[in-house]
Amino acid sequence: MTQRAFLNVEASLTGRRWVGPTAEEGRLAEAMAQVTRLPLALCHTLVKRGVAPAEAAAYLAPALRDLLPDPLALRDMGPAAARFLRALRDRQRIAVFADYDVDGGTSAALLILWLRAMGHDATLYIPDRIDEGYGPNVPAMQALARAHDLIVCVDCGTLSQDPIAAAVAAGADVVVLDHHLGGPTLPPALAVVNPNRQDEDGTLGHLCAASVVFLMLVEANRQLRAEAVAGPDLMAMLDLVALATVADVAPLLGVNRALVRQGLRVMARRDRVGLRVLADIARLDTAPTCHSLGFLLGPRINAGGRIGQADLGARLLCCTDEPEAKALAQRLDELNTERREIESRVRDEAMAQAEARGLDAPLVWAAAPGWHPGVVGIVASRLKEATNRPAVVIGFEDGIGKGSGRSVSGVDLGASIHRLAEEGLLLKGGGHRMAAGLTVAEDRLEAAMARLSELLAKQGAGAGGPADLRLDGLLMPGAADLALVEKLEEAGPYGASSPAPRFAFADMAVSARRIGESHLRLQIGDGMGGSLEGVAFGAFDTALGPALAEGGHSRFHLAGRLELNTYNGRTKVQLRLEDAARA
């Protein structure tokens, strides 16, 4: 039986059906509020996350020591840490081969900074996205192997059979610390530590690569302690782990939530020079949040790998010299501005192409010559968000297409892309559940996309229209005060697989004024003295803007997330509006 639409909103101004708490969730939230004395709104949020009353206190104050898994639970972890330490003790030459995104850059920085604290240096190598593509390649690995004793591949390497074989043949040991979906055969590395190997049980499959590297360093420190040697302070490195976890859209569940929560506290101290100067350039003037990691810092660190020099982000994260850090951060900021301009053009072209093909299929895709490979992943995300379907965007050059895909909840895109590669429809491909990369010959494009659409349809992709808007409950403006928002923040951090609580405000009077090109500033009232400020970013890109700005005396049901807005030293609660319906 279909649950009744919340506030009877079957089709909002953005075309979505509102879904509120079930009757059972309502009863559980009421019971939790009585037992714990926590606000009912917070109890609704906890119930949606499957938290029982007896677990509420621990959930609201997660302790990393209680949630951090034993590193040795991952296969090959012992040999990986032991080989890493042997290279340190014997002063061997170490190279770190990293992916060009935030997860790869932070993973590399963790290793380099740990080694530096122990008085040892390492060579950083990050491949060029355009010239070399993702992951290890034979020429680079052979060159590194001739000059180094140990190569550590981070956020890549699990599928790199030939490049790693070439490095081993040239005399180097190789350790892989990765999280991408593994194939049936592992490369000939000394150790492959990856929670998504086929012979792992998947319990830690939600970890990003930086978390895998962090666990390896935990094990290295533990082995050092057994020899009465103190290792570097790993807690001080959690800002990097948090940044990677959020930027790589890893689910904020279990240990990931604790890692990010503690990492945000470390970042707020502003001890890391590179992140401090980048935050200043990004005009981040409040304590860091998942939003600032994902939308302010992450894109700038990514910009070097997308359209500039691939190692700029990792170098910034390792930098201890302030003038050098400022120069690197400024360059990344400039590249990010350039990236946005390129992205805007490709997004418009890709959306037009996808609309012409049809947006109701299990897969939304677009491909064209000349699209920059550094922005196809971002554009795929935009298509996915606009259509609630998995999306793939591919740029071609000389008959070879390099593309990225993004998925929706419940649809494993990485596994389907991997299968296409095994079937020979792709030159190569891989990734994880929510994101994947691929390389395809132009003459196989149509066949590959048709097959991918077929595989995704079997998982339920494309079964519905716009995603239902899921709400945690109903609030009145007077209840949305600082105390409530601060309590709600204790249930965070919020992000992938753990969305911030979203509330509805029923039958509200709205006064709206346009700010900038497409945003709205709102004043919301319930007619009984209760009021709340709100903001609707990009409102005029949808039906929200015109309806609310020209609403006159109409009243609306409103839905969105509560947040704190600090301006001129004053902090107030505001509603970040996401949807509305005429009351």
Instruction: Please state, in angstroms and rounded to a whole number, the distance separating the CA atoms of residues 267 and 418.
Output: 36
| CA end-to-end distance (rounded Å), the chain | 25
- Find the domain containing 439 and state its range: 358-458
**What digits encode the pLDDT tens for the residues 166-205?**
999 999 999 999 999 999 999 999 999 999 999 999 999 9
List 429's β-bridge partners, or say none: 438
Mean pLDDT for the stretch of residues 125-150: 95
Contacts within 8 Å (CB) and 24+ apart, 146-149: 146/170, 146/171, 147/93, 147/95, 147/123, 148/92, 148/93, 148/94, 148/95, 148/123, 148/172, 149/87, 149/92, 149/93, 149/94, 149/173
Q: Is residue 270 part of a domain?
A: yes
Q: What is the pLDDT of residues 196-227, one digit of tens each?
A: 999 999 999 999 999 999 999 999 999 999 99
Q: Report, in angstroms and rounded to the nearest whole number, the Rg of the chain calculated over CA atoms.
A: 24
Query: Is the same domain home to 84 and 175?
Result: yes
**Residue 31 lies inside a defined structural domain of this protein:** no
Of 317, 332, 347, the last residue of a domain is 332
Q: What is the pLDDT of residue 236?
A: 98
CATH number at residue 416: 3.10.310.30
**Do both 278 and 375 map to the same domain?**
no
Determine the pLDDT at residue 360.
87
Q: How much is the pLDDT for 133?
A: 86
Burial 280-290 (b: 16+ CB within 10 A, else e): ebbebeeebbb
> Does residue 259 have a pLDDT over 80?
yes
Q: At what angle do helices 273-281 and 322-357 cross, to 10 degrees?
A: 60
More confident residue, 331 or 433: 331
Q: Which CATH number belongs to the domain containing residue 312 in this structure?
A: 3.90.1640.30
Q: In the prediction, which pLDDT does 464 show?
A: 63
Q: What is the mean pLDDT of the segment spanning 116-132?
A: 95
Q: Which secondary structure element, helix H or strand E, spans residue 63, and what is its range? A: none
d(CA 202, CA 578): 34
Would you state the pLDDT for residue 527?
A: 87
CA distances from 339 to 279, 344, 389, 399 (A): 18, 9, 24, 24
Q: Are 452 and 417 in contact (CB under 8 A)?
A: yes
Whether 191 and 111 map to the same domain: the answer is yes
What is the three-class DSSP state of 3?
coil
User: Of the ranges 385-389, 390-394, 483-487, which one carries the lowest mean pLDDT score?
Assistant: 385-389
Mean pLDDT along residues 405-411: 91
The answer on 417 and 284 residing in a single domain is: no
> Is pLDDT of 251 > 60?
yes
Domain finish residue from 458, 482, 502: 458
Q: Does a structural domain hold residue 436?
A: yes
Q: Which of 249-263, 439-453, 542-556 has the lowest mean pLDDT?
A: 542-556
Strands 435-441 and 400-406: antiparallel
pLDDT of residue 541: 85
| pTM of this structure | 0.91
Q: Is 371 found in the same domain as 323? A: no
Report if residue 559 sits inside a domain.
Answer: yes
Q: Is 24 exposed, middle or buried (0-12, 13-18, 19+ CB in 10 A)?
A: exposed
Write the Ramachandran bin of 572: left for phi over 0, alpha for psi from -120 to 50, otherwise beta: beta
392 φ, ψ (degrees, to nearest 5): -130, 135
pLDDT tops 80 at residue 552: no
446 and 566 housed in the same domain: no
Do 362 and 392 lie in one domain? The reply is: yes
Q: State the DSSP H helix or E strand holding residue 290, giving kind and residue range, or none if neither.
A: helix 290-292
Question: What integer pLDDT is reported at residue 504 of this predicted model?
Answer: 97
Q: Are residues 107 and 245 in the same domain?
A: yes
Sorting pLDDT into bands at 50, 70 and 90, what band is 551? Answer: confident
Per the structure, the count of domains in the chain is 3
Tens of pLDDT, residues 297-341:
999 999 999 988 999 999 999 999 999 999 999 999 999 999 999
Same domain, yes or no: 83 and 200: yes
Lowest mean pLDDT among 26-35, 251-260, 459-468, 487-496: 459-468
Greater confidence (3 vs 426) lies with 426
Mean pLDDT (the chain) is 95
The domain boundary, picked from 429, 458, 487, lies at: 458
Q: Is 393 exposed, middle or buried (0-12, 13-18, 19+ CB in 10 A)?
A: buried
Instruction: Say yes or no to pLDDT of 2 above 90.
Output: no
Predicted local confidence at residue 386, as pLDDT: 87
Q: Using the 8-state DSSP alphabet, how is residue 158 labeled? A: T
Mean pLDDT of 411-436: 93
Assigned token pair, 176: 């892989």
Residue 547 has, within 13 A of its CA and on its CB side, a CA count of: 20
For residues 275 and 362, state if they share a domain.
Answer: no
Q: How far is CA 311 from CA 129, 213, 482, in A?
A: 11, 18, 42
Angle, alpha carbons 140-304-293 (nearest 5°): 120
Q: Is the pLDDT of residue 544 over 60?
A: yes
Longest dimension (CA), the chain: 77
Residues of the chain with pLDDT > 70: what percent? 99
Tell whether the model's pLDDT for residue 240 goes beyond 60: yes
The predicted structure's pLDDT at residue 469: 92
Q: What local confidence, expressed as pLDDT, does residue 148 receive?
A: 98
**Residues 183, 191: Cα–Cα separation, whole Å:** 15
pLDDT at 366 over 90: yes
How much is the pLDDT for 466? 67
Question: Is residue 567 over pLDDT 80?
Answer: no
Return the amino acid letter for 518. Answer: S
Do residues 326 and 368 both lie within one domain? no
Per-residue pLDDT band at 286 (split at 50, 70, 90): confident
- Specify the CATH number for the domain of residue 480: 2.40.50.460
pLDDT at residue 578 above 70?
yes
Pairing type for strands 519-525 and 503-515 reads: antiparallel
Nearest by Cα to 441 from 400, 393, 485: 400
Handedness of CA 153, 101, 402, 400 (dihedral sign): negative
Helix ranges, 61-101 (H): 64-67, 77-89
Q: Is the pLDDT assigned to residue 1 strictly greater than 60?
A: no
Question: What number is the average pLDDT over the span 27-31?
Answer: 97
pLDDT value, residue 9: 96
The answer as to whether 37 is a domain residue is no
Beta strands in 398-518 (DSSP E): 400-406, 428-431, 435-441, 469-470, 473-474, 503-515
pLDDT band at 568 (very low <50, low <70, confident <90, very high): confident
The answer to whether residue 126 sits within a structural domain is yes
d(CA 395, CA 438): 11
216-245 mean pLDDT: 97
The answer to whether residue 206 is domain-embedded is yes
Compute the average pLDDT of residues 258-262.
97
Task: Give the model's pLDDT for residue 289.
Answer: 93
Does the residue 465 lie in any domain? no
| Dihedral angle sign, alpha carbons of residues 152, 156, 159, 161 | negative
Within this chain, do residues 364 and 476 fall inside the same structural domain, yes or no? no
Cα 302 from Cα 308, distance rounded (Å)? 9
Helix (H) or strand (E) holding 105: helix 102-117
